[in-house]
Structure 1
Amino acid sequence: MKKEKKIGLTTMIFIALILGAVTGVIINLTLSSSKFVMDYVVNGAFYIVGQGFIRGMQMLVVPLVFCSIVCGAAAIGDTKTLGKVGLKTVMFYMATTVLAVTLALGVANVINPGKGANLAKMMTAAKAAGSTVGKTTTSTSAVDTILNIIPTNPIQALANGDMLAIIFFALLIGIILAKLGERVQLMTNFFSQGNDIMMEMTMMVMKVAPIAVYCLIARTFSSMGFSVIIYMLKYVIAVLIALLLQGFGVYQILLFIFTRLNPFKFIKKFFPVMAFAFSTATSNATIPLSIETLEEKIGVSRKISSFTIPLGATVNMDGTSIMQGVAVVFVAQAYGITLTPMNMLTVIATATLASIGTAGVPSVGLITLTMVFNSVGLPAAGITLIMGIDRILDMARTAVNITGDAVCTTIVAYQNDAVDKEVYNKAIPNK
């Protein structure tokens, strides 16, 4: 007797999105004048369940990010272990993440996915998410923004959810734990176990995501009807364009600049791995195939790739960073919030630093998105417009993530004379 296939969480969220949209449109067209439906269903049950879930996500942000970044920094902070190859790899991953977020913000500001959505009508939802809707976010000078990264009181930064200060403090702790090694093994274990606890709590909160998405989307559509679909599609298009530019533009230009190798040959040989990553939406599952393809078709030494590829699966989240960059602009425009240049720089810094320790569970991407929103004062309620359609984008993001890992590996290997050019330039035999 065959076991029944279980429906995955992302599939359930997508189904909830469709059902919520249908429910909301029906209410908008036929029941919007009913006081009972609007007061007790839309602004009662839907609102309580939806906002309860958002508060649950916000509850996770500070402890999860703090523990995960301490653990991530502790794992990669030992320069003796990393050596020259490790340092180059980490710096390259960080640099491509900065480029990815910058590209995403640029594409989003050209397409303007949320402009005209006017979600500020839903004042209560935005207020509950802790944001002032329709007002410009507080302007801070460049000097103050840089100085605010260093917390005068780390405990206060943790209590206030000051994300850049929290990330900075967590990075310092992680690096010191790595430096002291066995002398502080108890503390290292403490943060590692804390990270495990927060990951488990994340999975528990995410179990109610389909119900919450249904309620939140139904409430949104009951107020706005079909019009919100157009803005969601524009958001998807903006993310996909940015991902394509990163995967087939930015990475390939970097490959050519640093190695002078033909990027078209790289794309042709690595494309099957990209397709596999797209279909599975899992970076970790793609690690063996990436290492094998890099060695057999591109000529990269396994000594390099066996270190840089698994590391990339942990710290290189360019695709996720692109989604976060577009999402920030989308939600800000949808709620009528003006982002200043310093807000944009804060998004770039937060998304880049957060990429160090946020791998492991697919749902963590949503938590870090909440963190990025918090850093510039955006309503977390906007995430619900993104959650249901995130599956397709998640597949594309994964393909971009593993391509970035492979390009970085090839560049680092080339600079260490660990690329066989004959293998790289060898034509793929026709089957």
Structure 2
Amino acid sequence: MFEKYRSVSLILRIIIGLAVGVLLGVTVPTLTGIGLMGDLFVGALKGIAPVLVFFLIMAAVSHYQKGSETHFGSVIVLYLTATLLSAFAAVGASYAFPVRLDLTKVAKTAASGPKDLGTVLTDLFNNAVTNPFQAVASGNYLAILFWALMIGFALRLTSVQTRQVITDLSEAITNVAQTVIQFAPFGIAGLVFKTVSTKGLAGIARYGQLVALLVGTMAFVYLVLYPLMVWVMTRQNPYPLTLWTLRVSGLPAFFTRSSAVNIPINLQACEDLGLNKKSYAVSIPLGGSANSGGAAITVSVMTLAACATLNIPVSFPLAIILCFLTALAATGASGIAGGSLLIIPMAASIFGISNDIAMEVVGVGFVIGVIQDSVETAVNSASDLLFTATAEYRDRRRAGEKVDISAAVRGAIAKERGGAPAKDTVPRAAVKPAE
């Protein structure tokens, strides 16, 4: 029965779960047991995601060989550039379409001046060196990333057998994460039921302007800015790859709301594209915790909305500081659902906004999270796949090879459907030696 269940497309199963959740939330809102499925699903995601990222990065780095073709430099530049550009886009959108929030503690604006940037950065770096066991237990992805890299490089000095044990563990944990993903339709039905039954469709709709600003900015970033980056790097039409990554990775991430748990899906997509496993085995888990363009948008928009509500003037220098701070702080925030909301108080502090008001803004974020966090995660996860492929194609092009992105995507689609790749789309065939 489980195999028959898995034979149905995951996207189709998720859509059915979404519809069932809405229907039950409207018709039988008092049937609270349904919401338990959502709580169990979120708990499973939060439990497995930090462990998955830790072991995947550690195992991949432990097998890194000096001089091997990994495209790390290009991937990291793309990740950092995308996050920073996303923050700038969010600030520009907030200036063009200012939004005010319905806050109950507006009169309690902090009297003190903004916290200095040095203090904020000190707190951030201290957070990165938290005890690794505590980091995994609490879902501190910045510390998980730091310690996974450190331990992974140290494991390079150990025996092959030791490194193989770590690899086997990472594969076992990946299988557990894939099993959790298979139950996403039930979890999503529970989550949607809980949201609709408690807040109602009208309760979510009253934040429509804020949701429209967030979703509109994320759509602009993924459909305009990111394709422009891909074109600059590859000099080819970016939209076949952009739209394919949005469907293959963005849609599942939209419903699971976890970049970390979506890692196995991205790894499979990279294999379907015929990419270099030594590269994507590291860059995909790394992106799951470090590539946070969607998170940067959320934090910037929500912070500036709070400033507009409190009539706090935002000077251009402070806006620039917010962009860089948001881009830096967003790293590691997108691994689990709602992670970006928790760094809003830190961003708000540079404008002198009290923690009480900042936490109320976070509360607003959780209200609209069923849409905001889903779209944010879709942007984050799909761009991990997009930039991993772009980095490899760019480096191959610079090495004198002919790259055909459209052919690579056609080959990946053929593999998805279980058929043989087209004649011009064999694995890694999107890359042909230049004549």
TM-score range, shorter chain: 0.5 to 0.7
Quick one: distance in 2 between partners of 1:70 and 1:156?
Answer: 15
Deviates further, 231-240 or 400-409: 400-409
Query: Secondary structure in 2 aligned to 1:141?
Result: helix
Partners of 1:61 and 1:370 within 8 A in 2: no
User: Shift of the alpha carbon at 1:182?
Assistant: 1.5
User: Shift of the alpha carbon at 1:344?
Assistant: 6.4
Quick one: distance in 1 between partners of 2:162 and 2:282?
Answer: 25
Quick one: distance in 2 between partners of 1:278 and 1:342?
Answer: 30
Q: Give deviations 1:89-123, integer Å, cap 9, x for gaps.
A: 123212211122222222223323893243x569x
Normalising to structure 2: TM-score of the pair? 0.60
Question: In the alignment, what sits opposite 1:238?
Answer: 217
Question: In the alignment, what sits opposite 2:296?
Answer: 325
Question: In the alignment, what sits opposite 1:31?
Answer: none
Query: Secondary structure in 2 aligned to 1:214?
Result: helix
One of 97, 102, 108 as aligned partner of 2:84: 102
Is the alpha carbon distance of 1:380 and 1:271 closer, same or farther for their aligned partners in structure 2, counting shifts above 3 Å?
Answer: same
Question: In the alignment, what sits opposite 1:216?
Answer: 195
Question: In the alignment, what sits opposite 2:57?
Answer: 72
Is the alpha carbon distance of 1:114 and 1:329 closer, same or farther for their aligned partners in structure 2, counting shifts above 3 Å?
Answer: farther
Q: Give deviations 1:47-100, integer Å, cap 9, x for gaps.
A: x976984686366436522332322232144332x62521xx123212211122
What does 1:5-404 correspond to in 2, within 5 Å? 8-12=12-16, 14-15=18-19, 23=26, 53=38, 57=42, 60-61=45-46, 63-80=48-65, 83-86=67-70, 89-112=71-94, 115-118=99-102, 140-151=119-130, 153-180=131-158, 181-183=160-162, 185-201=164-180, 203-204=182-183, 207-221=186-200, 224=203, 226-255=205-234, 263=235, 266-267=236-237, 271-281=239-249, 287=270, 290-291=273-274, 308=279, 315-316=286-287, 321-330=292-301, 348-349=327-328, 352=331, 368-374=336-342, 379=362, 382=365, 385-388=368-371, 400-404=383-387
Which of structures 1 and 2 has the larger relative contact order (alpha carbons within 8 angstroms, sep 6+)? 1
Deviates further, 65-74 or 93-102: 65-74
- Superposed CA RMSD in Å reads 5.1
Partners of 1:325 and 1:347 within 8 A in 2: yes
Query: Which letter does structure 1 place at the counterpart of 2:86?
Result: A
- Report the identity percentage: 13
Gaps of 5+ in 2: 250-264, 346-358, 406-435
User: Shift of the alpha carbon at 1:166?
Assistant: 3.2
Quick one: distance in 2 between partners of 1:74 and 1:208?
Answer: 30
Normalising to structure 1: TM-score of the pair? 0.61
Is the alpha carbon distance of 1:209 and 1:345 closer, same or farther for their aligned partners in structure 2, counting shifts above 3 Å?
Answer: farther
Quick one: distance in 2 between partners of 1:253 and 1:14?
Answer: 38
User: Shift of the alpha carbon at 1:308?
Assistant: 4.8
Partners of 1:14 and 1:388 within 8 A in 2: no
Indicate whether 1:408 and 2:408 are aligned.
no
Quick one: distance in 2 between partners of 1:280 and 1:154?
Answer: 32
Is the alpha carbon distance of 1:353 and 1:247 closer, same or farther for their aligned partners in structure 2, counting shifts above 3 Å?
Answer: same
Quick one: distance in 2 between partners of 1:353 and 1:318?
Answer: 4
Quick one: distance in 1 between partners of 2:370 and 2:201?
Answer: 18
Query: Which letter does structure 2 place at the counterpart of 1:385?
Result: I
Query: Which letter does structure 2 place at the counterpart of 1:116?
Result: R
User: Shift of the alpha carbon at 1:407?
Assistant: 2.9
Is the alpha carbon distance of 1:105 and 1:392 closer, same or farther for their aligned partners in structure 2, counting shifts above 3 Å?
Answer: closer
Q: Give deviations 1:366-388, integer Å, cap 9, x for gaps.
A: x5343444455675883563445
User: Shift of the alpha carbon at 1:238?
Assistant: 0.8
Query: Secondary structure in 2 aligned to 1:8?
Result: helix
Query: Secondary structure in 1 aligned to 2:401?
Result: coil
Query: Secondary structure in 2 aligned to 1:83?
Result: coil
Partners of 1:232 and 1:386 within 8 A in 2: no
Query: Which letter does structure 1 place at the counterpart of 2:12?
Result: G
Quick one: distance in 1 between partners of 2:363 and 2:397?
Answer: 43
Query: Which letter does structure 1 place at the counterpart of 2:393?
Result: T
Quick one: distance in 2 between partners of 1:221 and 1:333?
Answer: 27
Quick one: distance in 2 between partners of 1:284 and 1:208?
Answer: 23
Quick one: distance in 2 between partners of 1:380 and 1:220?
Answer: 13
Quick one: distance in 1 between partners of 2:51 and 2:229?
Answer: 31
Is the alpha carbon distance of 1:393 and 1:68 closer, same or farther for their aligned partners in structure 2, counting shifts above 3 Å?
Answer: closer
